[in-house]
A and B are shown apart, each in its own frame.
Chain A
């Protein structure tokens, strides 16, 4: 190999400034090229659709033996979204890794050298990954709803998207997938280390309700209804109203607020700390 003179091919210093669109294009190229993205979305699909089919066919099989109370509280829409218990973690971990893998590999140096306005990087990641998670979440929510309805049998009551509250629950299940991803992204930006950020995500999504178990019910109920897992499992994806639960729209608004706070803090500390 001989010395190669670098030929100036780009007009030096076009006027203006890099903007959100440039950074979002970078993040889209990164996101779609990673294996973890494809695996994560595949596991999300299998868990959402698989559990919808599994849970609703098992419940149908037991329909004849179920108590009157169980029959009265049967909510095929909500019970069909059992796979979200796993899916919420998968998408949150993807969100965490989207940013912590940049710190662990050293890619973040190249990213921040290219885009020194760091909050813009997080905004672009939020838009690109959040958008992908929202589309995947909505598509999978609709597919798992119809898959669940298709396996209902043995006298269990069917619902359709036209049944009051059902379309809202299905669409909010998809939105919840996106919001869990953004929780992970925000925590990843704040904590930077994969293991620590994943642990924090598990605490926020799973462990907080368990930590409150020793409290008396009267106190616990007042707190639990503000936790993401309760808002999701008993609120936004439910068609039949459950006790101790915020209304679906209030719940969704609160989850959006949580995501916004985590991402806001994440953007703040990314800009403040040395990379």
Chain B
């Protein structure tokens, strides 16, 4: 269970996250949606204590992240694919993190097997493709067998097979009774993976709903999402205008 109450983050005059309040329940995959720059990553960084909120608080099972006794055993997180030292192998990266939370060394082999990196485990991670880096990030999140997973754009860089694999992995983790919060900008992918939805725009909560409910408001989930976020999109391309058109 993740609870966020009045979470606020400012960068100078810009308000990245603005009084955000929501809950993420265990047992389902919750999609975290919003346009580019809407504050999804910043929110996730504040939940796991990387960034300090200017106001508000986030709790995991009733405690703030920094109070957790063995953080990796409670919360697995993936914030950016490249969160490892390029000179270290996947195995070393995971072994070091396992040691920090008193996890047994065999857990490293288990998560390497789960994400399919066993063959590449001894290679320098700096040579990994984006998809392999993403798999290492997912392995890192799963390392402590946590009851809460917080994943920022985990689909990025995965091939179609990988995307399907991740989808069923996330659903099975949720079916185990875990809390799974996944951000994405791929609406169609969220429609297949998530059950619950949190939609934000310009740092504010637009809707805490379900895929079924939101889809019912329009012809598709994508149309419903675009309608919901139409007033709060910071970066928008112009339709029907192409580079090189006659001026």
A residues contacting B by CB (< 8 A) are 1-10, 12-18, 22-23, 25-27, 29-30, 33-36, 101-102, 105-107, 109-117, 274-275
Contacts and interface: CB of A to CB of B under 8 A. Distances in A.
B84 A106 contact: yes
A173 B192 CA distance: 64
A112 B75 CA distance: 13
A116 B71 contact: yes
B68 interface: yes
Given A9-B110, A113-B72, A115-B71, 12 more contacts: A3-B168, A6-B114, A9-B145, A18-B100, A18-B101, A27-B96, A29-B96, A106-B80, A111-B97, A113-B75, A116-B71, A275-B50
B216 to A, nearest CB: 28
A33 B88 contact: yes
A112 B49 contact: yes
B169 A110 contact: no
Given A29-B95, A117-B66, A4 B85 contact: no
B12 to A, nearest CB: 13
Contacts of B51: 274-275
Contacts of B49: 112-113, 116
Contacts of B69: 13, 15-18
B interface residue count range (under 10 / 10 to 19 / 20 to 34 / 35 or more)? 35 or more
B158 to A, nearest CB: 11
B103 A29 contact: no
B161 interface: yes
A113 B48 contact: yes
Contact of A18 (B52, B80, B102, B113): B102
A9 B48 contact: no
A96 B173 CA distance: 40
B79 A109 contact: yes
B68 A105 contact: no
A8 B165 CA distance: 19
Contact of B145 (A6, A23, A102, A115): A6
Interface string B75-110: 101011011111111001101110111111011001
Given A10-B73, A14-B70, A112-B49, A3 B172 contact: yes
Contacts of B104: 9-10
B145 A10 contact: yes
20 contacts: A3-B172, A12-B145, A15-B69, A16-B69, A18-B100, A18-B101, A29-B95, A30-B88, A33-B87, A35-B87, A105-B84, A106-B82, A107-B93, A111-B97, A111-B100, A113-B48, A113-B77, A115-B100, A116-B68, A274-B51
Contacts of B52: 274
A6 B176 contact: yes
Given A6-B173, A109-B79, A22 B99 contact: yes
Contacts of A113: 48-50, 71-72, 75, 77, 79
Given A18-B100, A25-B99, A106-B80, A10 B144 contact: yes
B116 A114 contact: no
Nearest to A275: B50
B123 interface: no
Interface in B22-81: 45, 48-52, 65-66, 68-75, 77, 79-80
Contacts of B140: 110
A101 to B, nearest CB: 6
Nearest to A27: B96
B100 A116 contact: no
Contacts of B100: 18, 22-23, 25-26, 111, 114-115
A29 B99 contact: yes
Contacts of B113: 4
Contacts of A29: 92, 95-96, 99
B142 interface: yes
B99 A1 contact: no
A64 to B, nearest CB: 51
Nearest to B169: A3
A239 to B, nearest CB: 41
B102 A14 contact: yes
A33 B168 CA distance: 34
B68 to A, nearest CB: 7
B196 interface: no
Contacts of A116: 49, 65-66, 68, 71
Q: Which of B69, B74, B75, B104 has the most CB of A within 10 A?
A: B69
B18 interface: no
Contact of A5 (B70, B79, B84, B176): B176
Contacts of A3: 165, 168-169, 171-172
B147 interface: yes
